[in-house]
Amino acid sequence: MDLTLRIWRQKNAQDPGKLVSYEAKDISSDMSFLEMLDVINEQLIEKGEEAIAFDSDCREGICGMCSLVINGVPHGAQFQKGTATCQLHMRKFKDGDVITIEPWRAKAFPVIKDLVCNRSAFDRVIQAGGFISVNTGGAPDANVIPIAKHDADRAMDAAACIGCGACVAACKNASAMLFVAAKVSHLAQLPQGQMEAKDRVRKMVVQMDAEGFGNCSNQLECQAVCPKEISVDFIAQMNREYLKSSV
């Protein structure tokens, strides 16, 4: 198939950036979306032009590195729900389509170049308290603490977050509530996480605000684009944890 791509090009953080059009010819429907961009980049280099910068690594939907807004929706979730961009294949598109590709846009995720942005704010939120403070060695036998299957499964539902930032990119407030809630809920769901539960949620929320993420206004766009389909129920759980931490 032949496609027209409108791709965001921005030299660096200072450059205002603009959309540039590219023609993509003879694209196979078996290609992944990122392989289609690989082809465009090969052609650009052959013409002596600079390739389009975009992040990707595992290309199987688990590392959370890839991050593209496709026709206005993070990870192209309007074409396929519950996956990252790297798992989107060209069979979802048809000949003649015009596809607009942009980076995540949020104050807390400044663009580094083209489609690549800086998501280190997420790391700092985890560093503020997204862990259980156990040092290596001295842990009791793993079966000493039984955990109900339901709780373990629910913890896993939250822990599945890949930290890609699509939730922030989809939110009109650039809120990171789903990301933060996923970690707060994962750890609060487990007995091991109880000791620090109050401290954890407070510190993570303080850091989330300091990074410039917005608030949640219950539009649920985050859940709609999340590649792991993390439920907004966890935001409610985080709010409860936060409330509990102050009483």
Of residues 109-138, those binding other proteins (CB under 8 A): 112-113, 116, 118-120, 122-123, 126-137
- Residue 227 lies near other proteins (rule: CB under 8 A): no
| The residue type at 76 | G
Q: Does 166 bind other proteins (CB under 8 A)?
A: no
Q: Are 51 and 36 in contact (CB under 8 A)?
A: no
Q: Are the C-beta atoms of 8 and 17 separated by less than 8 Å? A: yes
Residue 166 CB, nearest approach to other proteins (Å) = 15
Nearer to other proteins, 61 or 216 (CB): 61
Q: How far is the CB of 10 from other proteins (least distance, A)?
A: 11
Cβ neighbourhood burial of 43 (10 Å; 0-12, 13-18, 19+): middle
- Residue 172 interacts with other proteins (CB under 8 A)? no
Q: Residue-wise over 200-219: b if at least 16 C-beta within 10 A, else e? A: bbbbbbebbeebebbebeee
Of the CA atoms within 13 Å of residue 183, those in its CB half-sphere come to: 25
Q: Is 78 in the site for other proteins (CB under 8 A)?
A: no
- The count of residues interacting with other proteins (CB under 8 A) is 81
CB of 218 to other proteins, least distance (A): 27
CB of 217 to other proteins, least distance (A): 27
Would you count residue 14 as binding other proteins (CB under 8 A)? no
